[in-house]
Amino acid sequence: MDRVSRIAELLVDQILAATVTTVHRFVKADATEDQIVEITGASDVVTGIRALAGTAGDRVEVTLPGGGIRKITYGDTIADGDQVTTDSSGRAIPATAGTYVWGTTKMAGVVGDVGRILFLPQGVKGTAVNRVYTVPLTSIRENDLTALGTAASAAKFGLVAGTHGTASPALVSEAANANSKTDTCRLQFSVPGGYTAAQNLTVTIHAHVDTTPLTVACTLDVQAYESTGEKGISADICATAAQDINSATWADKSFTITGTDLVAGDVLDIELTVVANDTGGAVNKAAELGKIKITVPETV
């Protein structure tokens, strides 16, 4: 007998059934010591899974939590890999936020199917939330990671401080005046510990063109790369194309970061690019970025 089979065997007990219990269902402890009864509420504490049929007064085989693949009756449509809890009849159903997770399915199925779960309790399932992280403008750098200047220069944003108590800081591009200017800046973002793996993130930038729109266009683009930690990067995982910001009115522009391969602790290397095009005009105005937020789906 291999080690896994031996452990599975140890997690089986013969327990007196105080009432008639249905095979392949979760059961709970009776008020009388060393007896089991049927689950009657979704919040009941599971003692084990009834493995073999029997009647009240019989000692029946019950598999105990702690590991091993066990047969269980499904009470809902379930996908392979779902976390499950119990319904009020002792059947496995998908766990939702705030319910106790009793195991993870190893096969898909529908109501009434006898499926299989890894019978390993995992605690209360967390609640999904979208947590917003505001990026301090003082953490934004030039593309070579040197500090931004206090005014824009060739191909570079400036960080304009504003007067404390009167005006807040902003990232400001070069002014376009009968020409086109392309400016970039860069930031790094560490994916937080509560991040729900493989979910998309959103970068939202509050932006406009100062006072008067440019003659041709003004666009804002985001490129995002996952750092390998070995001086390498992924492909660009920003799924959103450059967006129009050629308006004097401030507006939020949102960019989706594809999270397929992301996990908590990953570092994103993010570049912002503004193309300000005033070719044929004489507007002489710059793009301004006033706030940068990153929305992260997390489980709490």
- Rounded Cα gap, residues 48 and 81, in angstroms: 20
Predicted local distance difference test score (pLDDT) of residue 251: 98
Residue 15 in tokens: 């327990």
Predicted local distance difference test score (pLDDT) of residue 3: 45
pLDDT tens string 38-72: 899 988 999 999 987 777 888 888 888 886 899 99
| CATH (domain of 65) | 2.40.300
Split at pLDDT 50, 70, 90, the class of 125 is confident
Note whether 240 and 149 are same-domain residues: yes
Note whether 150 and 281 are same-domain residues: yes
Q: 124, 142, 171 — which closes off a domain? A: 124
Note whether 66 and 165 are same-domain residues: no
Note whether 31 and 104 are same-domain residues: yes
Split at pLDDT 50, 70, 90, the class of 174 is very high
Predicted local distance difference test score (pLDDT) of residue 67: 64
Split at pLDDT 50, 70, 90, the class of 256 is very high
| CATH (domain of 239) | 2.60.120.260
Residue numbers of the domain that contains 96: 3-124
Note whether 21 and 116 are same-domain residues: yes
Q: 84, 105, 124 — which closes off a domain? A: 124
Note whether 100 and 218 are same-domain residues: no
Q: 83, 103, 124 — which closes off a domain? A: 124
Note whether 292 and 258 are same-domain residues: yes
Note whether 185 and 104 are same-domain residues: no
Predicted local distance difference test score (pLDDT) of residue 1: 45
- Rounded Cα gap, residues 224 and 200, in angstroms: 12
Phi, psi of 17 (to 5 degrees): -85, 115
Note whether 150 and 119 are same-domain residues: no
pTM of the entire predicted model: 0.70
Q: How many domains does the chain have?
A: 2
Note whether 95 and 221 are same-domain residues: no
Split at pLDDT 50, 70, 90, the class of 88 is very high
Note whether 139 and 254 are same-domain residues: yes
Note whether 196 and 274 are same-domain residues: yes
Phi, psi of 100 (to 5 degrees): -85, 130
